[in-house]
Structure 1
Amino acid sequence: MFTLLFQLLQQVTECDTKMHVLHVLSCVIERVNMQIRPYVGCLVQYLPLLWKQSEEHNMLRCAILTTLIHLVQGLGADSKNLYPFLLPVIQLSTDVSQPPHVYLLEDGLELWLVTLENSPCITPELLRIFQNMPPLLEQSSENLRTCFKIINSYIFLSSTEFLQTYAAGLCQSFCELLNDITTEGQVQVLKVVENALKVNPVLGSQIFQPILPCVFRGIIEGERYPVVMSTYLGVMGRVMLQNTSFFSSLLNVMAHKCNQEMDQLLGNMIEMWVDRMDNITQPERRKLSALALLSLLPSDNSVIQDKFCGIINISVEGLHDVMTEDPETRTYKDCMLMSHLEEPKATEDEEPPTEQDKRKKMLALKDPVHTVSLQQFTYEKLKAQQELLGEQGFQSLMETVDTEIVTQLQEFLQGF
């Protein structure tokens, strides 16, 4: 059937008919997904010719882009063999200085995204196409969401090369965007920053340094939109937990800017964090919050000790979120911990994981949220605090915590 459709595509001369045939081909490829691989050789060879012939027919080119999207998804990592044709097509379709972009941009961006998601590795050409992105971000159009997905895909694909090449411009674009886009747009920008910190905590902090004071200020001032506040806390949690020295220097900078003592500012931040913990709905971010605040312990800093009760409250909330009880042994375990051994079993109905899915899995295996047991971490931090203050001092500190919370904490830490 596929062969017959392909022959028909070659034989018909009318532009409209070719579009219809391409549409049917796209549907077939989408339906059979990876099973299309043995049959696509002829189509792959023909599409560049058809693209060249359709220079004056933008709607036909749109149909070719749609076919390519499904083709890349069907080929998966093997789609890299199409790059000599594919990448110039993406380049042209997403270049706002080229007239055809008016017709091709939306499908071109979608093709760019699936190409990245299925790419086994970065190539210089794939990296170079990103030069098309800054003008797209300036447009602040309805395609912005796809643009952010593309940026995230580059971060997952090759964070170091990508960030070192484009970060300065990207950070500038983000700073401008944060001033004049919607709440949802702000969240999308911050999620990119969060992903950069997740993939590369040191480089991510350095590169997006100009954005972090705005995040810090948003937390201190109690950002009123819960979804924005949640993202602020996610970003700051990453910095606190995974780049402690940078967090200290950020705190120092903010103290100068706000004309406050560092300790006072830290205290205000912890207080706001505890107060707004309910804004965070994602379990990963809730656990991250607990880990980040616990990472401030052990400490003899009077401000941190003053906020000890809040830190414990957040930790117990986090434990409630992530701990599951084994009914047989009556012991708790952190359900967010992942191991290399866990291979998600794809059922027949499910699509196989893309290269990006695999990258995200590998990233999760290095992420403290998925590798550090909150139960163990809480125990170790409290033990260290006890050793620092001595039994009596520690007991005085624990007395600041609500007795019900202490009981719940003890239950979670049984066996340690």
Structure 2
Amino acid sequence: MDRDGFIKLIANTLSVDNIARQESETKLNILTNDANYVKMLIDVIGDVSLDQSVRLSSCLLLKSVVSKSWRVKDSPYHTQKPQLRDALLLILANSNDKSKFNLKDNISRIVGEISRHDYPENWSNLVTLLIEMFEKSLDSGVKKVALNTLKYVYSQVASRKLRSKDTLNQLTLDYFKYFVNYWQLSTQYLLESQKQLSLVSVDGLDILQFHSKILRRVMQHGFTKYQESPEIAQFFQKILQFLQILIPQCVEQLNSKSEDEKDVVLVDKYLKLILVNQKILIKCYENEPLQFVNYLPMTLEYFTKQIVFYNPHGDTLVASNMEALLSKPLIQAINFSKSVIDSKTYQKRTLDDFDEYGNYETEPMSDIGQKSSMNTGNDEKGNMIDKAQTNITSFYTFDCLSGLLKSMVSNLLIITKEELELWNMAPEEYYVEADAKTNDASNTLKGATYECFVILMRHFHKESFEIVRGMLEHVTKDTYSSVVSDQSILLKESCYMTMGLGYAELYEKINFSVVFANLFVQELHSTDERFKIIKRRILWLMSYWSPIPESQRITVLKIYLECLSSPDLVIALTAADSLKAFVDSYDIEFEEFSPYLETTLHLFLELFHKSVEDDSKVNLLSVLSSIFLKSQENIKRFSNVILSLFKSLWSDGLASELLQVSVIRSMTFFIQALNGDPSEFNLILIPMIDKSTKTHQVMLLEDGLELWFHTMCRVSVVSQELVQLFPNLLSTMDRDVEHMELCLKILDTYMICGRDDLFRVFGDQIVESFYYIVGDVLDDQTPTITKPLMRIIQLFPTQSPVLLQKILVKVLDNLLTNQDLTPLAKTEFLSIFSRLITMNPMGFCQILDSYPLSTENADLSNRSQIYSKFFTEYFENLDSIATSDIRKLTAIAMCNLLPIQKSEIIELIPSIITFVVGMRADINQSEFQIDYLEDGNKLPDFSLVDKQNNQIQKSDPVYNIDLQTYLSLKINEASSINPQIQQIIQTVDKTILQLAFPK
């Protein structure tokens, strides 16, 4: 293809015309087999006269080719590789190319990808060429491109896990020696230039940043023994010295200029330089914590000083500069400190330290630090852990903690001017963000501080308590003063926050009841507008207060109701959150809350009308759900009002997904609380279930299924509308394994309530759905599948062998041939056959007789082998049966085998009798599940599901058979059918035979 036609094809890949774009992509895909394809792409990339979008598109096409086929030895362009590599470097070195950095960055990435395969074997001079490009070029853009490419080359070579490490080791040493030297010279020059800011070059900062990025990768991926290298130790020290001088100088220089004079670009460059150099230390610590132990004191000192240095108060310019330059580095500093203090690597763990879920909570550092100082031994790892603990506890002295915690409270946790403006301008946004910030430590300054404060309180509880108590005494001493400054109020709010953050450590040391009565009540009733932040914080604190003394509960409740009616939405919404904690408390009885229920609901309805944001409404619905569960059937008299609210929020299914999910969830709690017949709410219930179970939106589907299940459990009759919903269930089962458990619970309710009609209409679809999931679901979901299959056998004992034949054969095949079947899956699958044998013994034989004989597996080539293999699995897994009801089911099934006149079963009679006698002692009828709901909650008397379930249980052998009597009956039945069986029975141990027959 000619060059112009090739360029046109590439340009068309950017076309908005789908047909033209697809045609061009198809033709280009064919051209990938052309020997000149890669050469032509590089030619387009290097042509500075072309549109940058065409060059960038060519770049992306080249990246795809290199990624897929560069390593292939017989690729069409294999012989051209040396020329292609040289051409790429020429493009990077072209100082006349003023294209955007994004284009050159992609070329650098391509060179890096090629180096992964070709360096050093086929491109040994690559690094030398790139360094020459950096050193000899007079163009700063080319210098940056060269460094960027060197960065990608190292990253790619370091990622070659299966290649020799010699190449990486040598490259690491070469990179470290070269770039550390340049880094030292550049940082020294920068600090000198800082004295006269006009001398600082943006390009110089960029180049130093690239050197720092390269060194970060070298330190993280090339070295592990940080403590064994004097050069590394010196480098770490120089990083800290550089940053300790740079940051204050930057702030001072920025503060000397007006807002109009401030160079925003320069601030951004400084910020990135600080971040990447701090990241070198952080990544080395994360990479090898035990090889960073010697550097902990100086690194912790640096980061702690940075936290204490940060001061956003003062004039607007100073605060703005602090925020712009230091907030992100400060997040790194706080998260590093938090990680070191709470490090699991710096703890000596045993298996006993882990909980049943494999989680491990670190022991307070102040406790283990004392132990480590007394430890001696030759265990190198243990000694390093001891040293780490000693370093940490020695660093965090009382004075250090005092300065750190006070700085956090005064400068980081304190409400900012911007937050107060947000409160006034958009109260709901403030309400939502105030909590969201403290739950996202990785991205926000306040969130990181929040978590670090909690960790400091836990690890240094004794010292931290004294410090927090001192702060609280300081901010509360002027409570009764007539003149309180704005800053004092802000500081008090921040100090009050510490009571919540350190709740676990302060609970037994601060008498919250006294503080509430003597201090908080007065402040909650303050008429000073500025005290709104104190009121919100007190309400937030009250949600941590548990148990609330009985004598103060009514006072607390009245305060909540008073604040719910506040015209300030932040106060009202926070009061709602705290009310939820009050209502959820096990100590609070409904009788205490009952007189205020109507008022509470009225205030909530008003709050819903005031709220605009979905996030606020979602939180309010969560509180309402708690009120429903606390009130139970007492909520019924407010049904009309609540249903009207739900209809309004649901908005015919047009509300946002977030709000729809919350309405459905709250509706589910409402149905559970009422525990009446939900059919009266069908006008809203059916549309909710219908829409939510037709969707692919995971949360909406999950909550919709939950609502459907609780509705089906409580209806007195299955209405036509509920029947019409059933296809939604089948389609969900076919497409979504994740929600299979809920789907099968709903299916069970339908089977119980309308077995004959259901299977007449949907039987084939139900069986087909089961067939495709049996044996293919995750191990822990196997019980979810077996229960409904056992239910079908229970409901249709005669028809099951035919109805479920292909499913049962598939289950049998898994048992006989699947070597990877887990013990849980085996036990569950065998329980299906226990149910079948219990309900229809000959049907069981019918299934085994229909299993196809194998021509490939000699162990399953005749019918006797199939029976033998099945019963071997059956008997070997008896000890794995976990529940009494399945043990009894299995014992009854074995009894039912006794009269069957098949030689393969007759020879098992002694084993069957022995096993049944042995299993009787392990069956405890009181453990059987009687109630339909697994959580033990009672369904209403008119519940069709409950009624039908009770009837099924009455006729179920597991519930109505006396096992000892049944065993003797079946032994006698077998003997009467075939007298020879009596002789076989006599081979059973006499003691066991005596136990087999009732006295």
- Whether the TM-score (by the shorter chain) exceeds 0.5 is yes
Say whether the 8 Å CA contact 2:740–2:784 is kept in structure 1: no
1:222-260 CA distances to partner (integer Å, 9 max, x unpaired)? Answer: 864222111212111222221244333323211556875
For 2:630 and 2:901, locate their aligned partners in 1 and report how far apart those are by CA, in whole Å. 62
Q: Report the secondary structure of 1:295's partner residue.
A: helix
1:189-237 CA distances to partner (integer Å, 9 max, x unpaired)? Answer: 2222112212332344443222100122233448642221112121112
- Work out which of the residue numbers 142, 148, 158 in structure 1 matches 2:754: 158
Could you tell me how far 1:294 is from its partner in structure 2?
1.7
Q: For residue 744 of structure 2, what is the aligned residue in structure 1?
A: 148
Q: How does 1:17-416 map to 2 (within 5 A)?
A: 17-52=616-651, 55-96=654-695, 101=697, 104-178=700-774, 180-221=776-817, 224-254=821-851, 256=853, 260-322=861-923, 351-353=937-939, 355=943, 356-390=945-979, 393-394=980-981, 396-401=983-988, 403=989, 406-411=990-995, 413-415=997-999
1:118-144 CA distances to partner (integer Å, 9 max, x unpaired)? Answer: 222322221221222344234435333
Q: For residue 244 of structure 2, what is the aligned residue in structure 1?
A: none
1:259-278 CA distances to partner (integer Å, 9 max, x unpaired)? Answer: 75545533443333122211
Q: CA 1:74/1:200 → structure 2, altered by over 3 Å: closer, same or farther?
A: farther
For 1:139 and 1:18, locate their aligned partners in 2 and report how far apart those are by CA, in whole Å. 32
For 1:251 and 1:102, locate their aligned partners in 2 and report how far apart those are by CA, in whole Å. 40
Give 1:317's aligned amino acid: G
Could you tell me how far 1:387 is from its partner in structure 2?
3.0
Uncovered stretches (5+) of structure 2, i.e. residues with no partner: 1-596
Could you tell me how far 1:116 is from its partner in structure 2?
1.7
For 1:103 and 1:165, locate their aligned partners in 2 and report how far apart those are by CA, in whole Å. 30
Say whether the 8 Å CA contact 1:137–1:173 is kept in structure 2: yes
For 2:647 and 2:798, locate their aligned partners in 1 and report how far apart those are by CA, in whole Å. 42
Q: CA 1:303/1:76 → structure 2, altered by over 3 Å: closer, same or farther?
A: same
For 1:55 and 1:257, locate their aligned partners in 2 and report how far apart those are by CA, in whole Å. 57
Q: Report the secondary structure of 2:809's partner residue.
A: helix
For 1:56 and 1:298, locate their aligned partners in 2 and report how far apart those are by CA, in whole Å. 63
Q: Which moved more, 1:176-185 or 1:369-378?
A: 176-185
Please identify the structure whose Cα radius of gyration is greater. 2
Q: Which moved more, 1:213-222 or 1:122-131?
A: 213-222
Could you tell me how far 1:20 is from its partner in structure 2?
3.2
Q: CA 1:170/1:57 → structure 2, altered by over 3 Å: closer, same or farther?
A: same
Could you tell me how far 1:63 is from its partner in structure 2?
2.0
Q: Which moved more, 1:406-415 or 1:22-31?
A: 406-415
For 2:800 and 2:733, locate their aligned partners in 1 and report how far apart those are by CA, in whole Å. 20
Say whether the 8 Å CA contact 1:255–1:261 is kept in structure 2: no
Q: Report the secondary structure of 2:959's partner residue.
A: helix
Could you tell me how far 1:102 is from its partner in structure 2?
5.3
Could you tell me how far 1:336 is from its partner in structure 2?
8.2
Say whether the 8 Å CA contact 1:109–1:146 is kept in structure 2: yes
Q: CA 1:228/1:29 → structure 2, altered by over 3 Å: closer, same or farther?
A: same
Larger RCO (CA within 8 A; separation ≥ 6): 1
For 1:178 and 1:382, locate their aligned partners in 2 and report how far apart those are by CA, in whole Å. 35
Q: CA 1:374/1:34 → structure 2, altered by over 3 Å: closer, same or farther?
A: same
Say whether the 8 Å CA contact 1:219–1:273 is kept in structure 2: no
Give 1:117's aligned amino acid: C
Could you tell me how far 1:21 is from its partner in structure 2?
2.9
For 2:694 and 2:811, locate their aligned partners in 1 and report how far apart those are by CA, in whole Å. 32
Say whether the 8 Å CA contact 1:202–1:243 is kept in structure 2: yes
Q: CA 1:226/1:368 → structure 2, altered by over 3 Å: closer, same or farther?
A: same
Q: CA 1:398/1:114 → structure 2, altered by over 3 Å: closer, same or farther?
A: same
Q: CA 1:144/1:381 → structure 2, altered by over 3 Å: closer, same or farther?
A: closer
Give 2:609's aligned amino acid: Q
Q: CA 1:206/1:63 → structure 2, altered by over 3 Å: closer, same or farther?
A: same
Q: Report the secondary structure of 1:365's partner residue.
A: helix
Q: CA 1:381/1:144 → structure 2, altered by over 3 Å: closer, same or farther?
A: closer
Give the length in aligned residue pairs.
389
- Work out which of the residue numbers 7, 24, 27 in structure 1 matches 2:605: 7
Give 2:987's aligned amino acid: T
Q: CA 1:58/1:222 → structure 2, altered by over 3 Å: closer, same or farther?
A: closer
For 2:966 and 2:838, locate their aligned partners in 1 and report how far apart those are by CA, in whole Å. 12
1:375-411 CA distances to partner (integer Å, 9 max, x unpaired)? Answer: 1111111122333444xx455313432x2xx414413
Give 2:630's aligned amino acid: R
Give 1:306's aligned amino acid: E
Give 1:247's aligned amino acid: F
Q: Report the secondary structure of 2:887's partner residue.
A: helix
Say whether the 8 Å CA contact 2:836–2:843 is kept in structure 1: yes
Say whether the 8 Å CA contact 1:337–1:372 is kept in structure 2: no
1:52-102 CA distances to partner (integer Å, 9 max, x unpaired)? Answer: 2772432222221121101111232421111221011110011136xxx45
Give the TM-score, by structure 2 length. 0.36
For 2:830 and 2:618, locate their aligned partners in 1 and report how far apart those are by CA, in whole Å. 48
Q: CA 1:91/1:203 → structure 2, altered by over 3 Å: closer, same or farther?
A: farther
Q: CA 1:351/1:278 → structure 2, altered by over 3 Å: closer, same or farther?
A: closer
Give 1:199's aligned amino acid: L
Could you tell me how far 1:298 is from its partner in structure 2?
2.5
Say whether the 8 Å CA contact 2:649–2:659 is kept in structure 1: no
Say whether the 8 Å CA contact 1:267–1:307 is kept in structure 2: no
Give 1:132's aligned amino acid: N
Say whether the 8 Å CA contact 2:779–2:825 is kept in structure 1: yes
Q: Report the secondary structure of 2:695's partner residue.
A: coil
Say whether the 8 Å CA contact 1:15–1:60 is kept in structure 2: no
Q: Report the secondary structure of 2:677's partner residue.
A: helix
For 1:18 and 1:274, locate their aligned partners in 2 and report how far apart those are by CA, in whole Å. 57
Give the TM-score, by structure 1 length. 0.82
For 1:12 and 1:248, locate their aligned partners in 2 and report how far apart those are by CA, in whole Å. 68
1:163-211 CA distances to partner (integer Å, 9 max, x unpaired)? Answer: 3332322322222223543223344222221122123323444432221
Q: CA 1:319/1:181 → structure 2, altered by over 3 Å: closer, same or farther?
A: closer
